[in-house]
Amino acid sequence: MAAILSPSMVAYEDDFLLIIDKPAGMLVHPTVSERGTTLYDYVKAYYEANGIDAGIHPVSRLDRNTSGLVIFAKEPVVQHWLSQQQVEKEYLALACGRFEHSEGIIEAPIARKEGSIIERCVDYECGKYAKTAYEVLASYSNHTLLKVRLFTGRTHQIRVHLASIGHPLVNDNLYGTPGPQARHALHAYRLAFKHPVSDVFLEITRSLPNDLLKLLY
């Protein structure tokens, strides 16, 4: 059985929703080659240990090496209702270099890079519309801490967009410096949306994890 979720990983829970603060290095969904250690498996074990009779229906997803908030609905209809609204998704990102402007919007279509299963790229002919907004929170000697908001949800959108303007994420070996994929400096820190059952506006936040805090100084 997969390890049980630690209490610190549970950011929010009620009868309809479970929001988890996912650590970097963990897949959200099981694959043919990786089972028992994904976030899905952790949630399943958490339900079993706590006698929770509910489904596991992911509403959001994150890359393996991105940390932060992931929503699970406990019923299919709740998943559907959430998918019908625009969930506010904001990230904290540590990008290479210093930015000329304190804020900006990147609108550039994204497509799968030819010849690659994983990598994406900006492609003005074949890409799908993508929009990302950023705000500089702090500047360091070689890096910049950003608050990033997604308006669309393309695969690797933040990573591709920041790389396209010459500021790839720190440690993003796929879109920055050559090398094996590593823990890139991206954390999904805020979700905000109207609860699909109660209609109460929810705002859930989680601060930068320690491994990214160490990169700031």
Catalytic residue positions, numbered: 63
Give the separation between CA 140 and CA 138, rounded to whole angstroms. 7
Residue showing tokens 């028992």: 36
Largest separation between any pair of C-alpha atoms in the chain:
53
> With the C-alpha atoms ordered 159, 107, 80, 84, is the resulting torsion angle positive or negative?
positive
